[in-house]
Structure 1
């Protein structure tokens, strides 16, 4: 009988520790032990695999217990996150309790101190809630619990009935009225306000089911927005949003004094072309029409502007096209017009004679928009004052940028800062009546402040250098902050080896990368494995 066994090699003992072997054959194990006052970092045991390697192939070393923090005992009825063998100074963990349990204090956070102890010194405990573990609810899972309530959420394709998501703990018992997760369903589109034809006749649609939509007559109605297919999503809502069928308007016959109809949208293919009576016009479209000039003076006819009507869900605004038949030689001006200043003569007499213009101004912060003249009993335009627009750019701030879309009244401008600076205030400013609001308001100042990184801390058995653009460097002092773009370089003392990042850079107030390296004692653990082959006869 000939057998073959692959042996794993003897490894160098870690500094301040030793290795105990069960053997060196296939499936044998080894165990790491550290001297008193030290703890293992890495796997505490390895196994010999068939190709002659100790698995896992990870560097293992012993570190002083007073340099790191450890979790010596598991959290009963809870867990800590993140889960690591050791934690370094200033690193934090968070204690989370199992359902039905709660912390015996408010803060769930523990912080590792530089002497290897935790702050607070005593770990929190997970105590049983007065009502015990929250009840299980079909198709739901527990989001979080406290001593007074449990919060639930539904699994995919289910939704909370009546939006009730919590159950309360009262007098040591969970209340009997509990959240319910029902299958996500959508009502028939007609019940949600859709006024057209639905292809599928069912009254309820389950999550994932769909239907086609159309209007009863494409000649008389338009589907707006143009969505002809919807699906019931996982939350019981139709996606995309349900459209609506809007009725078109029919152009009436040319009435007395009406010359013709024309499209008022320059982007429309019918723009500039005369429209025929009886044509159907889509919802939202505006039509202009021209009335016959009643004056025998042709030069006055050019001052008569066209009139406009708009189709809104089957109805024309202003009752449809209409031309006045009676011609008046005077015009009446309303005295109740916002933001307008009339001269004394107009205030006393609000009637304009033929070809007379209205003399008016606007109040401060507003500008005059129209010239008003009386022509054949019509005002060529209504008096109109609108808020002034801003004529300049928004105020500039040092080390910052300003972005805006327009300079109209009510327009907004937002500030941002160059890399290495941050805003002191995220307030936006507006253009109001021709003036931009000032970012220099003493009580609400907007400025770009230099963005700095806090001191990252020192590495034990090593030095930290500040690098000046890669040409020179100096040792980092204690209790200093560094500006955006500053780079650090880490080096270990003789006899120590750097484990981790060799450098880091301050970027917008954060160190990248943010983990400090560790200087470990320099030791050489050979991972060159020797394959031993034994042949025995049986």
Structure 2
């Protein structure tokens, strides 16, 4: 039986050999290659010498040999390649911020900026062609809204994060509010928007026994004037002006009593009293003299004296009458002497006064 099988095998082998030799020999074939995950393989045939070409889906890269050849041993040359996710170029670090995420296909990188900065691009995606969906991201400083200059003033500075705007006023004005304001990380400004107001001097007071005119204004350029009550004279500046230095011109005035001109002492008389407003001067005459004019004069608010300046004149005695059958001669002023004479035949006799 074994011998019969051996003979059958030899007969078949001989037939196959004759068949192969008549068509040029046996045709070697390779098993169809398997495509890689996320890839494809293409080949025209599986016969000896055929080539298989591998490729990956968009967004994937081939690792290994791109082509394989069917060898005479019935196996493809090399080893099966595989497909990995594509990789986008590395991004340079972002100033004032950081990048978070992967760099493989379809990965997303998010841009996170430091406080006070905001991204121009919030995220980037690694595309299937291994390029980023956007240009290199940046973190730009937060911008605060513009600040208007104050009326009668001006400003200088920048509006970006941590920058400051400084305010100043035109001559004659001073700043009320924040001298400078700084842009914060949330886009708001520090401080209070200022105003430029007219500079002011300190308050001035009316002098004692006087008054001040001009609404007592204190703004630069404002002028006030002073006056005194009747009977008083202003000593010092009659007006003062507030300067840009916030100092008043001149000096603070005072009101002093007016003075009347001095009165002379009449001959044979005396004088008592002062010469200031409301003062009284009293005149008296020595014995034998009497006042002609005002015995008392008052200093008035216009610096003149009331009444008439007096004089001391000699007192007068009653006029002496001549005696009967006689005559009298001489004056009747204080210190004068009179003389009596009788007619011829008469003799002077003095009457006795009991």
Q: TM-score if structure 1 supplies the norm length?
A: 0.24
Q: Return the structure number with greater relative CO, CA threshold 8 A, min gap 6.
A: 1
Bigger Rg, which one: 2
Question: Greater strand percent: which structure?
Answer: 1
